[in-house]
Amino acid sequence: MKTHCDAGCQKAFEVESFKTIKLEDGIDKLCFECPHCQREYVAFYRDAEIRKLQERIRRVQRRFSDPNDNHEDANRKEAELQAKIKEKMDALRAEIEGGAAHE
C-alpha cells in the first residue's frame, strides 16, 4: 500500500507490513512507521470482540469460493460484518486515543 508521511517528513513510501503491539486488556494496536522519519501511524485497534468478528467475516468470505453457495446472502452478511467491525474499531479508537488526549 502506498502512502505518504503527512504528519512528519512528507515523503512517500510503501507500507510493507503492520506491527502489532499488545496493549492492556487484550487490545492490539496495529500500526506502521514511516521508513524515513519513523513517525508512527495507527491503522486500527482491535479487542477480543473485533477479532471474533474478523474471524466470522473470513468464514463468510470463504463461501465465495463455493459456486453452489448463496453469494447474495454472503455479500449481505459480509457487508453487515464490515459495518459492525468499523463501528467497533471507531469506538475503540475513540476510547483509547480520546483517553490519551486527556492525560
Segment 80-86 shows an average pLDDT of 97
* pLDDT digits 0-9 by tens, 8-33: 999 999 998 999 999 999 999 999 99
- pLDDT at residue 99 is higher than 80: no
Segment 44-50 shows an average pLDDT of 97
d(CA 70, CA 42) in angstroms, rounded, equals: 36
The pLDDT assigned to 95 comes to 94
CB-based contact 10:3 (threshold 8 Å) = no
* pLDDT digits 0-9 by tens, 66-79: 999 999 999 999 99
Q: Judge residue 12's burial from the number of C-beta atoms within 10 Å of its C-beta, 0-12 exposed, 13-18 middle, 19 or more buried.
A: exposed
- pLDDT at residue 103 is higher than 50: no
